[in-house]
Amino acid sequence: SRLEPEPSTVSKSPLSTEKSSQNPLDDSEEKLSAEESKDKNLPDAQSNLGLWGDGKGEDELSPEEIQMFEQENQRLVGEMNNLFDEVRQIEGKVVEISRLQEIFTEKVLQQETDIDNIHQLVVGATENIKEGNEDIREAIKNNAGFRVWILFFLVMCSFSLLFLDWYDN
């Protein structure tokens, strides 16, 4: 029963303050109806107090306690609003992280195809280098064979000249 708000505090909602600023006669009628409902609820609250204890003075809320509970309620509402804002911010960050992770995954897959292409190019380049080295060896061999033939030709020509010189004498 202590935590149950009084009907007058319930009627003082933001909507009722807007109405009171619009029409002062309606405000006085609302105050009268709030006091009547407060008086009606008071015996009900006192009968409920009998279930919990016999002390009637202890269970009634003083205006200071009501104000204290209202302040605590406002503080708790403020904390809940702050927590709600923090949750919204965290939710936004999680969505952003998810989006960045999708982009990261996309880039990794793109890099995978690029790496495969580079691998194929490197394998092709290695094969070309091997073929080039074999062609160079073959050219060196052919060049050496050509030199041998020229040397053989010059030696034969020299022997031919010596033979002709000897035969002529």
Number of domains in the chain: 1
User: Is residue 9, in this structure, part of any structural domain at all?
Assistant: no
User: Is residue 16, in this structure, part of any structural domain at all?
Assistant: no
Distance of CA 93 to the CA centre of its chain: 5
What CA–CA distances, in Å, run from 25 to 16, 18, 77?
A: 13, 13, 32
User: Is residue 168, in this structure, part of any structural domain at all?
Assistant: no
| Higher-confidence position of 128 and 10 | 128
User: Is residue 11, in this structure, part of any structural domain at all?
Assistant: no
User: Is residue 20, in this structure, part of any structural domain at all?
Assistant: no
The whole-number pLDDT of residue 23 equals 46
Q: Rounded CA gap, 83 and 90, in Å?
A: 10
The whole-number pLDDT of residue 116 equals 95
Exposure b/e, 43-64, CB count within 10 A at least 16 = b = eebeeebeeeeeeeeebebeee
The whole-number pLDDT of residue 4 equals 63
Confidence of residue 144 (pLDDT cuts 50, 70, 90): confident
| Higher-confidence position of 145 and 66 | 66
8 closest CA partner among 81, 72, 63, 74: 63
pLDDT in tens, 34-83: 555 555 554 444 444 444 444 445 568 888 989 999 999 999 999 999 99
User: Is residue 82, in this structure, part of any structural domain at all?
Assistant: yes
Supply the range of the domain harboring residue 134: 68-144
Compute the mean pLDDT over every residue in the chain, rounded to the nearest whole number.
Answer: 77
pLDDT in tens, 71-114: 999 999 999 999 999 999 999 999 999 999 999 999 999 999 99
User: Is residue 36, in this structure, part of any structural domain at all?
Assistant: no
User: Is residue 110, in this structure, part of any structural domain at all?
Assistant: yes
